[in-house]
Amino acid sequence: MSALLSVASVALLLVGLVFLAGGTLGLVRLPDVFARAHAASKCDSVGAGSILLALALQGGLVFGDLKVVLLVLLILVSAPTTAHALARAGFRTGITPWSKAERGDP
């Protein structure tokens, strides 16, 4: 059981690292604030969430891990809300979304 928990923890940690790297790559490479918010919010919620779940599995099941699960829930609520607020602010202040017709940075 303990070996199973360890394997699951390491797998979740590696998945989270891959997703965080993808989110950072999207934040650097994508052409628009909307595209960047999209990439960063999704990859950050999955990446940070799975890394925190891996750490919660790591310590056995004690009280501090309940706080980590609470932190995962907070991230799962806050990342989409933040991305929505950013995209709405960008749209209402008149940033035109990047399109393929006009290549280059807006």
The residue from 5, 15, 58, 98 that contacts another protein (CB under 8 A) is 58
Q: Using the rule CB under 8 A, is 15 a contact of another protein? A: no
3-state secondary structure of 105: coil
Of 13, 15, 12, 42, give the one whose Cα is nearest residue 26. Answer: 42
3-state secondary structure of 100: coil
Q: Using the rule CB under 8 A, is 37 a contact of another protein? A: yes
Give the up-direction half-sphere exposure of residue 58: CA atoms within 13 A in the CB hemisphere.
12
C-alpha distances in Å from residue 25, one per residue of 6, 20, 62: 29, 9, 35
Q: Using the rule CB under 8 A, is 86 a contact of another protein? A: yes
Q: Using the rule CB under 8 A, is 20 a contact of another protein? A: yes
The residue from 7, 76, 81, 97 that contacts another protein (CB under 8 A) is 81
Q: Which two tokens stand for residue 46?
A: 């999955």
Q: Which residues bind another protein (CB under 8 A)?
A: 6, 10, 13, 17, 20-21, 23-24, 27-28, 33, 36-37, 40, 44, 48, 51-52, 55, 58-59, 64, 67-68, 70-71, 74-75, 78-79, 81-82, 85-86, 88-90, 92-93, 95, 105-106
